[in-house]
Amino acid sequence: MTRKIHLALHPYGVGGPGQHGLWKDPSVAKNASIDINYYIQQARAAEHALFDALFIVDSQFINATYPAHYLNRLEPLTLLSAVATHTRHIGLVGTASSTYNSPFNLARRFGSLDHISGGRAGWNVVTSFDTGTSRNYGLEEHLDYTTRYGRALESVRVVRGLWDSYEDDAFPADVERGVFLDPSKLHALNHEGEHFRVDGPLNLSRSPQGQPVIFQAGVSEEGRDLAAQVAEGIYAPGGSLADAHAYYTDIKTRTAAAGRDPEHIKIFIHGGPVVRGTDEAARRRAAEILDEDNDFDRNVGLLGRAFGAHDFSRYDLDAPFPDVAHLAEKGGRTGAAKIIDRARAENLTLRQVVESFSERRTSPFVGAPGTVADTIADWFAAGTFDGINLAFRNNEDLNWFVDGVVPLLQERGLFRTEYESDTLRGNLGLPIPANRNSLVRA
């Protein structure tokens, strides 16, 4: 079977990280991030184009410097449950923190979404790098990296165990015999681990896809190891072709070393295509977008996210970059370390760091439809991704891609012409997980 490209849509409402000017776009409703009809429209457009999934990000801490979309947005599981009733095929992937949620609640919420959608749910497992989240949950400080990732691994394993509480034929619902449940096919988990004690069972059966698909996004060593052990989908950072290839190869190698089939983990790179009728017009529009988002003060605030929402506005912009290494361990450590290392190596001022690291790189997927299709095909053939997580400036940019690029990928046999399945697993080419309790019985 010919390998196919997978596509996901990542709607950003009124503007996520670095998209400081998006909310000013006259084509974007100022309440888009809290308007369920906006998300339904986005999901339907993506489904019409045969995309694999709609992906919703989340965080649970903000301050006034955060991106516009983050300041006022809907909770992912509630949002996706509403979208599920207006779609039939597209996958619905929501972000939830393993650090600030109990496994039982996560299992029930995502299991419910899986049933509501007929087997299209996915959980994007995050450990949270916004350190201020801890104080929203009664904790004095954020957990360190080792604890967060150890907790994440155990949380996923507990959740999966709870999803297997019922064997597939546990409910005969035999009226004549008066038997609704076969109690021998209901199984308590009785888990006792380092971070959790969960008895179970879950009061919810398995869905048509067996279990929701596990996604994860991480670039640290701990994040990559977690992905290799439990992830079925990865949201990768992208970057240059060489960077994307190195990440792809590393994750696939780690997955095989963990005893898993590398084909059972699908890697999605981030992509923000800009498509127009000609290459020149697309480059011009890409440059306009960069200019619209160039807000130095907002970039100062954005820089602070990697350091636990640290306030960099308190420093002299033209003094050497401040010593904030101690803030990285409980924030976005990998990204923060890159910032610190470069600032030290090049003796950069805070102003220079903000200008350098807040600079948005132009997407590699910019040009006329044929140019963008060629680039996507080349990157795919080079082994840099299994799919692309697409973020578009507005509906016009989405339509340019759907109407111009998708048909060319289909003509080349690189993208589906119809859905293969009604479930997210089926469309991603992932197997239905065997129920551990059925295996024990066998």
Digit-coded pLDDT (tens) for 149-190: 999 999 999 999 999 999 999 999 999 999 999 999 999 999
Q: Are residues 348 and 371 in the same domain?
A: no
Is the distance from CB of 387 to CB of 267 less than 8 angstroms? yes
Name which residue leads in pLDDT, 73 or 135: 73
The total domain count for the chain is 2
Burial class (CB in 10 A: 0-12, 13-18, 19+), 325: middle
Q: Are residues 97 and 122 in the same domain?
A: yes
Listed residues 328, 357, 386: the one ending a domain:
357
- pTM here? 0.93
Whole-number pLDDT of residue 144: 83
Q: Are residues 233 and 327 in the same domain?
A: no
- Mapping DSSP onto H, E and C, the string for 42-109 reads HHHHHHHCCCCEEEECCCCCCCCCCCHHHHCCCCHHHHHHHHHCCCCCCEEEEEEECCCCCHHHHHHH
Domain containing 348 equals: 294-357
Q: Are residues 85 and 109 in the same domain?
A: yes
The answer as to whether 1 is a domain residue is no
Angle separating helix axes 36-48 and 76-84, nearest 10 degrees? 60
Q: Are residues 229 and 254 in the same domain?
A: yes
On the question of pLDDT at 131 being above 80, the answer is no
**For 360, which DSSP code?**
P
Percent of the chain with pLDDT over 90: 77
The answer as to whether 285 is a domain residue is no
| Averaged pLDDT for residues 278-286 | 97
Q: Are residues 111 and 207 in the same domain?
A: yes
On the question of pLDDT at 412 being above 60, the answer is yes
Name which residue leads in pLDDT, 274 or 63: 274
Count of other CB atoms within 10 angstroms of residue 414:
18
Q: Are residues 318 and 180 in the same domain?
A: no
Q: Are residues 338 and 394 in the same domain?
A: no
CATH of residue 62's domain is 3.20.20.30
Listed residues 308, 328, 357: the one ending a domain:
357
The answer as to whether 317 is a domain residue is yes
Q: Are residues 336 and 376 in the same domain?
A: no
Listed residues 338, 357, 376: the one ending a domain:
357
Residue partners of 170: CB distance under 8 A and separation at least 6: 181, 182, 185, 186, 205
Q: Are residues 338 and 372 in the same domain?
A: no
E strands of 154-265, at which residues? 191-192, 197-198, 213-216, 233-236
Q: Are residues 192 and 331 in the same domain?
A: no
Alpha carbon distance 7, 15 (integer Å): 21
Q: Are residues 276 and 240 in the same domain?
A: yes
Determine phi and psi for 157, rounding to 5 degrees. -65, -40
Residue range 317-367, pLDDT digits in tens: 999 999 988 877 656 667 788 889 888 999 999 999 998 876 667 799 999
Whole-number pLDDT of residue 332: 67
Query: Does 95 belong to an annotated binding site?
Result: yes
Is the distance from CB of 113 to CB of 77 less than 8 angstroms? yes
Query: Does 349 belong to an annotated binding site?
Result: no
